[in-house]
Amino acid sequence: MKEKLASLRGSRAASSLERSNYKWIYLFLLPTLIVFVMFYAAPIVQVFLTSFTKWDGFTDPVFNGLTNYVNLVNSRSFMLALQNLLYWSLLATFVHVGFGVVVALVLFQKPHGWKLARAVFMIPNVISAAAWAMIYRFFFNNDFGVLNTVIRFIIPDFTVQWFYSSPWAFWAVALTWMFYAVIVTLVVLGDLMNVSGELLEAARIDGASGWRLIKDIQLPLCRNSIGTSVIVSVTARIAMYEQIALTTAGGPGNDTMSLSIMLVNGIMDYRYGYANAIGVVMFVIGLVVLFLINKAFRMDESDV
C-alpha cells in the first residue's frame, strides 16, 4: 500500500513538473506567436476583408459585396491566367521536378566528375529570377540572340520573336525556370543519402538492380521529399512574377498572363480591393494545391 502511495505521489509530482515546464515553453513561444500574428495572420485577415470592398488605397474601403470576385470571374485575363497556371503547374510537376529527381539519382551514383557536375548545376541558383529573365531576353532575341543565331546556321531565313509572338512566348517563359531544379535535386538527394545501405544491399542480394532498385526502394522512400518539391514548385508558379514581368508582361495578348501580374496591375490602377480579391484566390489555390499533393503523395503517412 505504501508503495502505491509513493508511486501515486511521484506521478503527481512529475505531472506538476510537466505543467510548470509548459509555462516556460509557452513563454518562449510567445515572441514567435506575436511576430506571426503581426506580420502574417493580421495581413491575411485584412486582405480577406478588403477583398469585399472598393478601395483605392487612399480613402476608406467601401463594402461592395462580391463585386470584385464577379468582375474577376468575368475577366478573360483571369480565365487565361488560370489556364496558364494549370499548364505551368503540370510542367513544374512532371518536367521541373522530374528533371531534378533524375539529376539527384544520377549524382547519388557518384559517377566520374559528379562533384563538378553538382557545382555547375547549382550555379544558376545563386542568380536571381529577375537576372535570369534579363539573360533570357538576350538569349531569345531574334536579331542577336544565341538561339536564333544557331538555328540560322541550319535554317538561314528563320525568324521568331520568342517573347513577343504566340505560342512561343508561353514556352519561352517556361524555359526561364523549367530546367533549373537545384532545390529539388538537393532535397531528394538528401533523402537518397538517408536510405539505409543495409536495405539497398539486401535488395541487391535479392536480385534487385538498376531501374527496379530505383522504382521499388529509392523512389518510395523519397516520397516525402518529392511531394515537398512538387508543392514548392507548383506554389512558385502561383506567385511567379519576375520572369513574366521582365520578359512578356503577360503578353502577347494574354498568352503569358498570370495571377501575380493581374494583382500588380490592379495595384498600379489603384484597385486595391480587386487586387486583394486576386490575392485571396491565389491563397486559396495554394491551400488546395497543398492539400491535394499532400494526399497524392501520402505525406502524412510513415515509411515504416
Closest C-alpha to 213, from 140, 109, 128, 133: 109
Closest CA relative to residue 141, chosen from 160, 168, 167: 160
Q: Output the CA torsion 180→282→296→220 (10° steps).
A: 30
Cell of 64: 461592395
The CA distance from 52 to 163, in Å, is 36
Bond prior to 111 in cis (omega within 30° of 0): no
Domain boundaries, the chain: 75-296
Quote the DSSP letter at residue 299: T
Round to whole Å and give the CA distance between 249 and 258.
9
Q: Scan for cell 542568380, then name that residue.
A: 127
Cell digits of residue 119: 557545382
Is there a contact between 224 and 297 (Cβ–Cβ < 8 Å)? yes
Query: Where would I find the H helices in the chain?
Result: 2-36, 42-50, 67-73, 76-91, 97-108, 114-122, 129-139, 146-154, 168-175, 182-193, 197-205, 211-213, 219-221, 223-238, 242-245, 259-268, 272-296
Name the helix (H) or strand (E) containing 216: none
Query: How much is the pLDDT for 276?
Result: 95
Q: What is the pLDDT of residue 125?
A: 78
pLDDT tens sequence across 246-304: 999 898 888 999 999 999 999 999 999 999 999 999 999 999 999 999 998 887 776 65
Residue 183, SS3?
helix
The CATH number of domain 75-296 is 3.40.50.300: no
140-171 confidence digits (pLDDT tens): 998 888 999 999 999 989 899 999 998 899 99
- Establish how many alpha carbons lie within 13 A of residue 297's alpha carbon, considering only the half-sphere containing its beta carbon: 20
pTM value is 0.85
Residues in the chain where the model's pLDDT stays below 50 = 2, 5, 8
